[in-house]
Structure 1
């Protein structure tokens, strides 16, 4: 039995799709924990067991993890949490106890790059995510944290600006090269770990994409794929913080985002070498052609 949290989320939904394709061949049953089952397609609900509710609720996870062999774990971002510790480790604490109580053997969690770097303790959301990893690892469960860079798919938030103005923004230097990964590759990695549970102990699994790119590199590739000029505009951290606050985001999350962006600009994601094991296949050009371009044209 594999339990999937956030099955309607960006990564969780893709993990579920891959598992629905591969789980029957492995004799695996699937269970999902979801606040609103109506968001699941009818064809999905027919093939999985559904536990309705929040996976931060001790009673819900007690039901969800009964008889579970493996869990895909994602903390839903709480933009109004009074602290990042509460948003990450606080949300996970009851779950960590449930892992032990139900003898869950393997957990795969969404986390971030940066462990072991000088920036890890001042990287906002990343720092909180790494502390959550430590909490889960401390239960004794076999745990793999997906150590992730920024997502290519984050650009979908700027489809309107790319389409109408030919502009996308971030707060890093225009020529800073860094890894980025497609969420479909992240999901495929997670699903592979959940289906093949021969691994033991704790550790991280980086998913780095096939190459490092700067925002200027991305602008060039987007311009080629979309056949229209696209340029990068760097946003100051002050303006980023003000924009998030203007959207009603809580102070703790705003500061966590600003600190994370600052750390990324200082090289937070640079510490893991790209190898055959840490690279993932989807190039930025492929992602733009297959994901971004249809979104822009729509």
Structure 2
């Protein structure tokens, strides 16, 4: 039995699609099952509820061999450590009770080196808590997602600009969520692995935000530019859009850590390199979103 959390999220829904035709029965934890397609609902077992509910998680993990676990973001969290504990404690308790053999979690590049890295530091705390249970664990370690750029669709469409608190010339190894999902699905369908390892996942190229702006300009056939903002400006924008002080500060701290080279600690290898280029992702995903 495979259990998948966040089955309607950016990564979870792609993982689910990748394993639907596999030999293992699938169970999902879904807060709102109606968001799953009718075809998916017919083919999986659904445990309705939230992954921070101990009863829901215990029920979902009963008889499970392998679990795909994503810590969902919460821009309204009043405390990042508390948010991590709220979601990871039920998982750890259920692992101990139900005898789960393998867990796959989504973490980040830079494990073992990040200090005061906001959300990334919180994710690393999740890794340590799960590993402390002694379960076989694969920590998927991607950099930032290409899909994060979808949060900038409105300013890209309306003003031809996108803004972050990262230097325009800082090159980073962004990747597409489809490539993370492909690695996760392979692990879910492979019942032979044991032990605990980090699995770096890179995009096929390192790009600066200035590079990304140039590629967007070429794909969208109009000028797009990147504008760096200060940490305080970025934080104020996040709070204005509903983020709590703690969440906004965590994102600013994460941006600063990336700008200081957090992702440079895990060099790209042929094994860690995903196939989706940023140009291809812009053609497939960003351009339709902007045109819509």
Q: TM-score range by the shorter chain?
A: over 0.9
Q: Using the TM superposition, give the Cα deviation of residue 166 of structure 1 relative to its aligned residue in structure 2, in angstroms.
A: 1.1
Given that 1:89 and 1:128 are in contact with CA atoms closer than 8 Å, whether structure 2 keeps it comes out as no
Given that 2:204 and 2:273 are in contact with CA atoms closer than 8 Å, whether structure 1 keeps it comes out as yes
Matched, 1:280 2:274: yes
Residue 251 (structure 2) aligned to one of 236, 239, 257 = 257
Matched, 1:147 2:141: yes
- RMSD (CA atoms): 1.0
Instruction: Spell out, residue by residue over 1:70-129, the C-alpha distance to the aligned partner (whole angstroms, 9 max, x if none).
Output: 011011122232311111133211211101211111111111111122xx1210111111
Greater CA drift, 7-16 or 72-81: 72-81
TM-score normalised according to structure 2 size: 0.97
Matched, 1:51 2:57: no
Residue 243 (structure 1) aligned to one of 237, 240, 255 = 237
1:214 — aligned with what? Answer: 208
Q: Using the TM superposition, give the Cα deviation of residue 41 of structure 1 relative to its aligned residue in structure 2, in angstroms.
A: 0.8
2:30 — aligned with what? Answer: 34
Paired residues for 1:23-172 under 5 Å: 23=22, 27-117=23-113, 120-172=114-166
Given that 2:137 and 2:195 are in contact with CA atoms closer than 8 Å, whether structure 1 keeps it comes out as yes
2:220 — aligned with what? Answer: 226
TM-score normalised according to structure 1 size: 0.96
Given that 1:6 and 1:12 are in contact with CA atoms closer than 8 Å, whether structure 2 keeps it comes out as yes
- Aligned equivalents of 1:17, 1:72: Cα separation in 2: 13
Segments of structure 1 that go 5 or more residues without pairing to the other structure are: none
- Aligned equivalents of 1:158, 1:90: Cα separation in 2: 29
1:181 — aligned with what? Answer: 175
Moved over 6 A (4+): none
2:3 — aligned with what? Answer: 3
Segments of structure 2 that go 5 or more residues without pairing to the other structure are: none
Instruction: Spell out, residue by residue over 1:264-295, the C-alpha distance to the aligned partner (whole angstroms, 9 max, x if none).
Output: 11111111111111111101111111111111
Corresponding pairs, count = 292
Given that 2:32 and 2:48 are in contact with CA atoms closer than 8 Å, whether structure 1 keeps it comes out as yes
2:194 aligned counterpart, secondary structure: coil
2:14 — aligned with what? Answer: 14
